[in-house]
Structure 1
């Protein structure tokens, strides 16, 4: 080894300087100092700029740039210069920019309302000539797609066929374009039967992929709505199995239910379930739940799903997304399945997701049945009152007159009455997922289906008064009592929703204010009848004083003098109101006595003809002896003279 000096250091080794930071300072300024001699190795003298360098001439001189840059003198010139620059950029970016500008000017003229048909036809012809051969290229443009839609709407059939022929090879790509999708749906609306069949045939093998697309799913749903039963089935079965996607001949089958298709084609149930799960899961994750074809596919999925798969889908659907499904028949039934089979937490999510939409749901044809199911199933009456009952109370005067909006109210007053709910509605309330039901539930569902088919149901608003009386005056045991989804006693649940929430008082007050209008209404008369009679099981008996005020209001309207105008203006002469009052006289002795004292006592001879005759004769047909005793002295002479006629059965009695 080389010899070391006295201090133990190697003479050939360079001295190590203290480390410096980027700004020339040491990491520890107290210990390390810069060497005094700047010529040492490893040290660079910091650069110092002199004042002369700072005061040198600018980097870009006007003489070096050549001509002086022209500065705009006004704001208008600045705007024009920016506009020219934008136009130049658009021309570079858009291939048919000039054509689109020409088409936009023609579109502004052709879409006017006050333009003559001949002038519009010329403009359309000119626009189509400019677009011929380029329609598929410009259909995806925001402006050009609107021009094409206007042309397709107003052009002749020959011109429309020409456009359809040019666009047909590109329909699948255009169906996924944000702007072109509107053109495709417009073409389908105006397509002939052959063109629609050809378009649906071209979708074979692409239905599942398009349904996963936010824009493409709109085209599939539009074609599904326009197609006939066979075409709908052809679109739907592609979601069931891979074999049905690959082999077009298998699609042309007549069976509509998935279980029947599996048995006929001998498909493996587990394979079908896996394929449907792979198709539906991306759709559920993206929230594409507005379309009826997806609702139908989900219903078929529940029919074959095992317990875990069905529970997973119900958990995914339970929430605000469910509100977007209930505008269709199958979607409403899926929502009812989620309410029936969901846990308490999932039911809570469903009800909270409906907040702010209850009024709209109640007016919907299928959505109202979801409210009926919730009122008949959910045990958490505090949450139901807070979200659903409060929003119903806010629009109560509208609901009592609405065909669909009255149904949740009628469910609370008279649950599952076949007079107000069709057999299909009653069956939908009792639908269940087979894999989530016990054997006893399935047996009860089968017995219920047989009972619904064999029962004789009279629809609301029927002209035959005898049939109305038969269904209304029948015993409560004659109505169909369906399975209750909750554990709470049904009567207790109704009392909490009607009485404890204050809905009963609000409902009676709404009927009192609108008594005349409700009695004359084909739909409202049933609400006021159920309220006046106290509901099934006399559930409104605790608010009897409010009911007496309602009787007084109806009797005061009936006591008004007979109108001189056309028949039907007075409450006792109107077709609907006369029959409703007749049923109230027969079924409610308290109402009958009030009406007699205020409106009919001493006036029976005047009301013994026309529709009002039914009200007069009802006093002698009443099963209550006190009501018959009130009117016998005045009405019996009219019966003996033949002016008032009683039914044959009543005369024999």
Structure 2
């Protein structure tokens, strides 16, 4: 490439992927806006394991580290050329002279390299600019000095391993003027830079930090996008640009290559206002006004390019959001095809080309929507194949905002609930102990019992989940209520076992208490063991003797859970009353409370933070308790207890005294 020189020998980048370099980077003080802002990351495919360090390959920062690898490389070459006999190796003076000769040869080699003096001067200033603990003003001064050294020579040295880091430091810590200067000097060379092992990081930084140059940089990728997506180094550059930094028009620049050569040939002048307005419409805008064979040719070109990506899944491009957007645009165009038989044919063909890699797509908005489309329109055989593909990744999908929508759609539309129970539901309930730790995981558990409940799903989330409802009514035979009941029945045993084994500890967490409450209220089956597991911690001495671990009744969210269980349901603000669950018996819970918790702890809680809970307990005994239970509980609250409570400052004492009075008057 004119004006660009590559290194004669590739060297491994020091600290490029090591944990040490990332630690150094994280310890840098927040000296600039770039350093202060949170690092944006692409969403991680559910098929990729999360590394122990929490870092992915594209998170590694190339501008950290030193150049010891270069010096070692030079020394290795010198050592190969020098012959040191055994005697000199044993003589300290001879060894010292040998080292001097080696250093001289090393300096000669460095001096013989292109731009050696420029790089030497740049490294000297760079070593000052990259210090971890210097004032921002001083760093900026060094960056300006560094820019004066490399100005006009950026494109000549940028592909070098060491110089690429120097230029990245200028872009990272410099002002907008320095960044724009670097972007201008590299104009016309971004395609080659994106394919370089070292300079690809610089391209990503310029795309992120130079919005005025972003469109022109991306335009240099046009007509090469598909090849770059399949390129080992360039793929991440395009993926980051599309998903993290580009606006609607800039995304359209990258997407246009998917539409084929005919669209590129007949499109309006790039960068014109009419073209920008039309580009924001995506593939829909391209198809506007096209009919007959021309429309078919354009759709066929998009399908062919997508198939190329699918057939090269080992290259990793299948996980990128840009590919998922192109697929969703194609499926949307298929849905707008007038001929029904043609629609089914096109949808079946594209499904067959990508069915084995669907799990690679579910982590993005467009990928998730595309997979959901295949599920709702698919035959029973197609749906079974999709379940087979995603089954190994169910746990990861539950904790991903977009991927879990695919699971919800599968639960919503697949009539074969035995299949979903065996392949999806069982995996979700098995991982309940870990899923309760994240909001996404808790939503996955809620969807088995109370799908689309406004208590746990926002209107926006419900609207997204409901997007497939119109198609579900045509492609699924079983009614939604029957299917939900069968899914709930399949999940109940595993969820109740979770409460029995882990419910008491889970209820101590705010989110966990919500999950435990919904399981107790709405799961099907015998709940006696789960009830005992939840009540056993309440029977411990109150207040807790262990100051590091409060009694459950002193935790507000846990206390509310027990109160709701005594009520037998949730309070409805619309009806101003409690909506009882038909699957739970609060009277059985109250009876178990009497026998497990007993008089002494109940009275202690009543005089502490548990007044409201005890009040609900008394209400349940009054309304549904047996004569013996009423007589026993009435005896717990003698006149001395009542008088003592009247003098206390306990929250809820008035409500509790009222319930005691009502029970005593019966």
Distance 1:408 1:494 in 2: 12
- The alpha-carbon distance between structure 1 residues 388 and 146, as it changes in their structure 2 partners (threshold 3 A), is farther
1:31 equivalent in structure 2:
none
1:399 equivalent in structure 2:
435
Verify: 1:549 aligned to 2:532, yes or no. yes
1:28-107 → structure 2 map (5 Å cutoff): 73-74=85-86, 95-96=114-115, 103=122, 107=126
Q: Is the 8 A contact 1:318 1:350 kept in 2?
A: yes
2:275 equivalent in structure 1:
251
Q: CA deviation at 1:167?
A: 2.0
Verify: 1:522 aligned to 2:510, yes or no. yes
1:531 to 497, 519, 531: 519
1:511 to 502, 508, 518: 502
Q: Is the 8 A contact 1:205 1:245 kept in 2?
A: no
Q: Is the 8 A contact 1:608 1:643 kept in 2?
A: no
1:310 equivalent in structure 2:
347
Q: Is the 8 A contact 1:212 1:282 kept in 2?
A: no
1:468-479 → structure 2 map (5 Å cutoff): none
- The alpha-carbon distance between structure 1 residues 547 and 258, as it changes in their structure 2 partners (threshold 3 A), is same
1:145 to 148, 164, 167: 164
Q: Is the 8 A contact 1:582 1:618 kept in 2?
A: yes
Verify: 1:644 aligned to 2:633, yes or no. no
Distance 1:119 1:258 in 2: 46
Q: CA deviation at 1:409?
A: 2.6
Q: Secondary structure at the match of 1:523?
A: helix
Q: Secondary structure at the match of 1:169?
A: coil
Q: Is the 8 A contact 2:125 2:142 kept in 1?
A: yes
1:128 equivalent in structure 2:
147
TM-score, reference length from structure 1: 0.64
Q: CA deviation at 1:405?
A: 1.6
- The alpha-carbon distance between structure 1 residues 560 and 232, as it changes in their structure 2 partners (threshold 3 A), is farther
Q: Which 5+ residue runs of structure 1 have no aligned equivalent?
A: 1-68, 446-480
Distance 2:415 2:362 in 1: 18
2:240 to 218, 222, 227: 222
Q: CA deviation at 1:170?
A: 2.7
**Which moves more between the two structures, 398-407 or 611-620?**
611-620
2:303 equivalent in structure 1:
277
Q: Is the 8 A contact 1:604 1:635 kept in 2?
A: no
Q: CA deviation at 1:643?
A: 0.9
Distance 1:147 1:331 in 2: 38
Larger Rg: 1 or 2? 1
1:572 equivalent in structure 2:
553
- The alpha-carbon distance between structure 1 residues 271 and 627, as it changes in their structure 2 partners (threshold 3 A), is farther
Distance 1:70 1:167 in 2: 41
Q: CA deviation at 1:585?
A: 0.9
- The alpha-carbon distance between structure 1 residues 571 and 254, as it changes in their structure 2 partners (threshold 3 A), is farther
Distance 2:161 2:559 in 1: 60
Q: Is the 8 A contact 1:592 1:619 kept in 2?
A: yes
Count, aligned residues? 521
1:286 equivalent in structure 2:
312
Verify: 1:336 aligned to 2:372, yes or no. yes
1:134-533 → structure 2 map (5 Å cutoff): 134-191=153-210, 193-196=211-214, 199=217, 210-211=228-229, 213=231, 215-224=233-242, 225-229=244-248, 231-232=250-251, 236=255, 239=258, 242=263, 245-248=267-270, 249-253=273-277, 261=285, 265-268=288-291, 269-287=295-313, 288-305=317-334, 306-319=343-356, 321-342=357-378, 350-351=386-387, 353-354=389-390, 357-374=393-410, 377=414, 379=416, 385=422, 389=426, 393=430, 395-429=431-465, 431=467, 440-441=474-475, 482=480, 491-492=485-486, 495-496=489-490, 499=493, 503-504=494-495, 506-512=497-503, 515-516=504-505, 518-533=506-521
Distance 1:326 1:86 in 2: 53
Q: Is the 8 A contact 1:363 1:402 kept in 2?
A: yes
Q: Secondary structure at the match of 2:654?
A: coil
Q: Secondary structure at the match of 2:305?
A: helix
Across the aligned residues of Structure 1 and Structure 2, the Cα RMSD in angstroms comes to 5.0
Q: Secondary structure at the match of 1:553?
A: helix
1:63 equivalent in structure 2:
none
Distance 1:506 1:534 in 2: 14
Q: Secondary structure at the match of 1:289?
A: helix
Q: CA deviation at 1:150?
A: 2.0
Q: CA deviation at 1:101?
A: 6.4
Distance 2:428 2:512 in 1: 19
Relative contact order (alpha carbons < 8 A, sep ≥ 6): 1 or 2 greater? 2
Q: CA deviation at 1:402?
A: 1.9
Q: Is the 8 A contact 2:200 2:237 kept in 1?
A: yes
Q: Is the 8 A contact 2:164 2:202 kept in 1?
A: yes
Distance 2:282 2:137 in 1: 53
Q: Is the 8 A contact 2:359 2:390 kept in 1?
A: yes
Distance 2:611 2:248 in 1: 50
- The alpha-carbon distance between structure 1 residues 497 and 220, as it changes in their structure 2 partners (threshold 3 A), is same
Distance 1:140 1:223 in 2: 20
Q: CA deviation at 1:282?
A: 2.4
Distance 2:354 2:268 in 1: 30
